[in-house]
Amino acid sequence: MDSMNFYILLLIAVIAGWLMGRFGSAAKVKTKPNGRDIFQDYFVGLNYLLNDEPDEAIDTFIKALEINSDTVETHLALGALLRRRGKVDKAINVHQALLARPSLERAFSDSVRLQLALNYIAAGLLDRAERLLNEVLNEESDARWEALQYLITIYQTEKEWSKARSSCIKLLESPRYKKDAEIRASAAHFCCEIAEQLLETNQDSQAKAELKRAFTFERKNIRALLLLAKIEQRQGNFQGAIKELLRIRSANPGFITQVLEPLNQCYQQLGSNDEFEKLLREIVRENTNTNAVLLLAKIIKDKAGSAVAIAFLSEHLDQYPTLDGLVELLSLQIHNVESEVAASLESLLNLIHEQVSKNSEYRCHHCGFETKSLFWMCPSCKKWDKIRPISKTAGGESSLARK
């Protein structure tokens, strides 16, 4: 029995309990207006369930249960169950029927509208969902916090970043969500999205203002720091760019790979290659980042020759073996072996290189989605900041990559 069946059976138990209660206290509900015994419906539904036809079972229970103040919650739950089973149209019908009841209590009216909005979102009817949620929002009941969360989902899907941020700001007014790290991170990313749009049209100073705003939600937002460094770099302020990039290094060493190239460019512009080498040595000492090791090996090779670079790499790989590092080491050593062996070795290296280049570079820590490029929002589970670099050192993920 899968978990869904178990869930349905549990639900049946609840309904059965309710029916028994009603039966015990008021015999008049035993028979529905059309004269059919409600127990008959109950057993028909149960039969469907035992025959592994849960959708028919749900339908039967919905039809069997008259809507009244005692059964509203059951109808709500059955509608939600239909949505989760992908029967969005049926779920919409169930919840719309509830909403159409004139005497629906206020607390239920909010729940029904929230459920209906979720159905609309599932059906891709985002405009309708938005209208309904704004209705709940304007009534200022406790349901507005939940409505705001769904609104954020909608605006995020529609890339309406400014509206998404406004909804976050409203949600952060709630004492319950005030310190919610995920909502604060979302708000920071919405600022970054707006900043990126401004950068496309060269509105650098407005973009900078948006990034400053991002830091009010999350003090060390990596994406905002990277964007700020990018603006400084393109404006020729290389010292300023380096300052921001180094802040990323201390805020989250997992993102070292992302700062290496811009750092290299900025130090080159300043003519401070030695200073960059010093920094790289420091990074390699405290963090086993493979890209930093490979970059340093290349600098050593250009400056002091292959033999010194080979010695450096061998020593490092003894301690922290990685496939990328070994491939680089063998490529350097290939000139020292006989030509026949060198040819075979080169073919082998090409094969390994091809294999390595297929590997994912990033993984979502929430849903496990793997990708070759960095996404700030996971394309699979739509959560922000859950995608992080995969460590290439033997033994799996580096603790440094975690936030």
Interface residues toward Zn ion, by CB under 5 A: 364, 366-367, 369, 378, 380-381
Nearest to 233 by CA among 222, 248, 224, 244: 244
> In whole angstroms, how close is the CB of 371 to Zn ion at the nearest point?
10
Q: Give the Cα separation of 356 and 346 in Å (integer).
A: 15
Nearer to Zn ion among residue 74 and residue 380 (C-beta): 380
The single-letter code of the amino acid at 206 is: Q
Question: Which C-beta is closer to Zn ion: that of 281 or that of 365?
Answer: 365
Rounded to a whole number of angstroms, the minimum distance from the CB of residue 402 to Zn ion is 15
Nearer to Zn ion, 113 or 363 (CB): 363
Taking the complex as a whole, the smallest distance from the CB of residue 367 to Zn ion amounts, in Å, to 3
Two tokens, residue 94:
């169930």
Only one residue has tokens 């020759």, namely 305
d(CA 193, CA 168): 14
CA end-to-end span of the chain: 39
Looking at beta carbons only, is 99 or 367 nearer to Zn ion?
367
Cα distances from 279 to residues 53, 75, 299, 302, 303, in angstroms, run 65, 64, 12, 17, 16
Task: Give least dist CB 343 to Zn ion, A.
Answer: 44
Query: Are the C-beta atoms of 294 and 282 separated by less than 8 Å?
Result: no
Cα 182 from chain centre? 10
CB of 375 to Zn ion, least distance (A): 9
* Least gap, CB of 392 to Zn ion (angstroms): 21
Closest distance of CB 379 from Zn ion, Å: 8
For Zn ion, the closer of residues 133 and 387 by Cβ is 387
Q: Which is nearer to Zn ion, 163 or 366 (CB)?
A: 366
Q: Which two tokens stand for residue 101?
A: 């009841």
Pick 214 or 364: Cβ nearer Zn ion: 364
The CB-of-157 to Zn ion minimum distance in angstroms stands at 15
281 versus 366: smaller Cβ distance to Zn ion: 366
Contact (Cβ atoms closer than 8 angstroms) between residue 327 and residue 345: no
Cβ closest to Zn ion, residue 25 vs residue 373: 373
The CA-atom distances, in angstroms, between 343 and each of 94, 180, 314, 327, 331 are 71, 58, 22, 15, 11
Nearer to Zn ion (CB atom), residue 309 or residue 364 = 364
The three-state secondary structure class of 229 is helix
Longest Cα separation, the chain: 98
Please state, in angstroms and rounded to a whole number, the distance separating the CA atoms of residues 184 and 178.
8
CB of 183 to Zn ion, least distance (A): 17
| Least distance between Zn ion and beta carbon 376 (Å) | 12
Q: How far is Cα 297 from Cα 330, in angstroms, rounded to an integer? A: 13
**What's the rounded Cα separation, in Å, for the pair 96 and 93?**
5
Cβ proximity of 77 and 65 under 8 Å: no
Place of tokens 């990328």: 324
Say how far apart CA 362 and CA 375 lie, in whole Å.
Answer: 9
141/143 Cα distance (integer angstroms): 5
